[in-house]
């Protein structure tokens, strides 16, 4: 039996809250802007929750001795917050926004499509793109963090 602790924010269904803003961006053409903004609130609350969780665990780690808990916790807080904001909110939100916007332009130009298809096609394309962008964005943010924040902090 594996005694490894399950990371609530990375290894459970709660992880999907980090993608709330991507869903909001994909649905932007068919829902009120306030709902899109609310989706960002959900994603940012997820980021803050993960940041607090990892920071507290680092601070309480008995292996960190000699009064270095605050320094280690601060580094963890910065790392988790920057990584999550980039990988879960800013970059994927922008990409899904642009994919949905572009699909909307193309669907409006396609006069052969029924009006319901012109309305919903951008949203469907945006939603379909979400699983395709996650891993490349995560890897790119890891790469960038390894060469910047993690290298110098």
Ranges of each domain in the chain: 13-152
CA angle 25, 126, 122 (to 5 degrees): 95
Tell if the pTM clears 0.85, that is, is over it: yes
Residue 60 three-state SS: coil
Tens-digit pLDDT string for the chain (153 aa): 456 788 889 889 898 899 999 999 999 999 999 999 999 999 999 999 999 999 999 999 989 877 799 999 999 999 999 999 999 999 999 999 999 999 999 999 998 999 999 999 999 999 999 999 999 999 999 999 999 999 999
Q: Encoding tokens for residue 42? A: 């959900």
What is d(CA 67, CA 31) in angstroms, rounded to the nearest whole number?
50
**CB half-sphere exposure, 130, CA atoms < 13 A:** 20
């Amino acid at each position: 039996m594996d005694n490894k602790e399950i990371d609530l924010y990375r290894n459970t269904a709660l992880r999907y809250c980090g993608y709330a803003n991507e869903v909001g961006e994909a649905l932007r053409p068919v829902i009120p802007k306030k709902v899109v903004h609310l989706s960002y609130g959900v994603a940012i609350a997820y980021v803050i929750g993960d940041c607090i969780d990892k920071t507290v665990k680092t601070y309480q780690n008995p292996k960190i001795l000699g009064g270095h808990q605050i320094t280690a916790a601060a580094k963890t807080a910065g790392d988790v917050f920057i990584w999550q904001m980039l990988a879960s909110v800013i970059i994927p939100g922008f990409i899904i926004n642009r994919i949905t916007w572009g699909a909307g332009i193309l669907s409006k130009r396609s006069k052969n499509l029924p009006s319901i298809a012109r309305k919903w096609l951008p949203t469907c394309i945006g939603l379909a793109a979400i699983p395709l962008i996650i891993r490349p964005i995560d890897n790119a943010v890891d790469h960038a963090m390894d060469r910047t924040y993690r290298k110098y902090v």
